[in-house]
Amino acid sequence: MPRTAVAIRHVHFEDLGTFEEVLARSGYELRYHDIGVHDLGTIAPSKTDLLVVLGGPVGVNDGEAFPFLAEERRFLEARLAADRPTLGICLGAQLIAAALKARVFASDVKEIGLLPVTLSEAGRNGPLKHLAAVPVLHWHGDTFEIPEGAQRLASTEACRNQAFALGTNVLGVQFHPEVDLSGRFERWLVGHAFELAAARIDPASLRAQAREVDTTLRNAACRAFGEWIEELRE
């Protein structure tokens, strides 16, 4: 029987990108759970072998406007209590942090673009070591405190907490290592066109950055994700 992976997706273009191939090679059968389309209640929090919570243009603290955020948080609380393998990316990492009782709040700077993260000692000794000096995609206005018992793995000058791990089975990354910069990035630029205009960021500059780092990021991120999967505990 193949192992199962469920990815909670908030907007259609923020998918698992290059990580889809890694999951397939690792023997996982992937299913997307689209917010607003599928009922989260149909997933047992502890049953699926791997859960990935993806990004989106809303924040953890927007629960009054978007009630599904509270439902996701409760779902994650149950899954994390069972120590089941869970990866959070951007909004997903913020939701994991909130489910672990850590504060999620607005950052001083909206961080959008491709630049490397600085790895902590724990980051250099774990799967994220493959991303050392590799530009990754940042696209966030909120950030989080490191949950109690977790280790900080990465930071940038603008955002001190970029990634954390809680044991072997829980990983949260504020940035987007999964993004497919060659085949799917234009959908990000269109989907976030208003945000880019408000931040006075030229999409052409992001396209140029993406062309420069596409292959490097793809190879490094897939190695990191593949290694993390190999280290997961049942």
pLDDT tens column, 9-53: 999 999 999 999 999 999 999 999 999 899 998 888 889 999 999
pTM across the whole model = 0.97
Q: How far apart are CA 233 and CA 74, in angstroms?
A: 23
Residue 64: pLDDT above 80? yes
What's the rounded Cα separation, in Å, for the pair 142 and 72? 18
pLDDT digits (tens, 9 = 90+) for 109-148: 899 999 999 999 999 999 999 999 999 999 999 999 999 9
The whole-number pLDDT of residue 90 equals 98
Flag whether pLDDT at 234 surpasses 80: no
Closest CA to 136 of 222, 17, 217: 217
Whether the CB-CB separation of 178 and 16 falls below 8 Å is answered with yes
Residues marked active site are found at: 90, 176, 178
How many structural domains does the chain have? 1
Full domain range(s) for residue 52: 3-230
CATH number of the domain to which 171 belongs: 3.40.50.880
